[in-house]
Amino acid sequence: MSLTLHVDSARWRGHLDSVATAYPRLVPVVKGTGYGFGHALLAAEATRMGVETLAVGTYEELAAVREAFPGDLLVLTPIRPFDEVPDDPRVISTVSRVADLRTLADGPGRPRVVVELFTAMRRHGVPAGELADVVKLLEGVRCEGFALHLPLPSAGRHGPEVTGWIERLNDGGVSYDRLFVSHVTPEELGTLTAAHPGLEIRSRIGTRLWLADREAYAARAHVLDVHPVSKGDRFGYRQRRVPGAGHLVVASGGTAHGIALEAPSHVADLRTRARVLAASGLEASGRALSPYSVDGKRRWFAEPPHMQVSVLFLPESVRPPEVGAELPVNVGMAITKFDRVVLD
Residue 174 φ/ψ region, left for φ over 0, alpha for ψ in the -120 to 50 degree band, beta for the rest: beta
> What distance in Å separates the CA atoms of residue 100 and residue 105, rounded to the nearest whole number?
9
pLDDT band at 276 (very low <50, low <70, confident <90, very high): very low
> What distance in Å separates the CA atoms of residue 100 and residue 94, rounded to the nearest whole number?
10
Residue 38 φ/ψ region, left for φ over 0, alpha for ψ in the -120 to 50 degree band, beta for the rest: left
Which 8-state DSSP code applies to residue 292? E
Q: Is residue 283 pLDDT above 80, yes or no? A: no
What does the pLDDT average to over 234-252?
96
> What distance in Å separates the CA atoms of residue 87 and residue 261, rounded to the nearest whole number?
36
Q: Name the 3-class secondary structure at 285.
A: coil
Q: 281 vs 90, 277, 287, CA distance in Å?
A: 51, 6, 9
Residue of 45, 30, 8 whose CA lies nearest to 75? 30
Give me the pLDDT at residue 284, please: 37
Q: 311 vs 1, 109, 121, 307, CA distance in Å?
A: 14, 56, 41, 11
Give me the pLDDT at residue 278, please: 38
What does the pLDDT average to over 288-295?
96
Report pLDDT digits (tens) over 42-86: 999 999 999 999 999 999 999 999 999 999 999 999 999 999 899
| Percent of all residues in the chain with a pLDDT value above 90, rounded to a whole number | 86
Residue of 259, 299, 313, 193 whose CA lies nearest to 36? 259
Phi, psi values for residue 298, rounded to 5° = -65, 140
Q: Is residue 335 pLDDT above 70, yes or no? A: yes
Residue of 84, 173, 181, 168 whose CA lies nearest to 128? 168
Q: Is residue 231 pLDDT above 60, yes or no? A: yes
Q: Name the 3-class secondary structure at 33.
A: coil
Say what the pTM is. 0.90
Give me the pLDDT at residue 104, please: 96
| Percent of all residues in the chain with a pLDDT value above 70, rounded to a whole number | 92
Report pLDDT digits (tens) over 85-126: 998 999 999 999 999 999 999 999 999 999 999 999 999 999
What does the pLDDT average to over 257-274?
64
Q: Regarding predicted confidence, which is higher, 136 or 279?
A: 136
Give me the pLDDT at residue 281, please: 37
Give me the pLDDT at residue 261, please: 80
Could you tell me the domains of the chain? Answer: 7-212 (3.20.20.10), 217-343 (2.40.37.10)
Give me the pLDDT at residue 296, please: 96
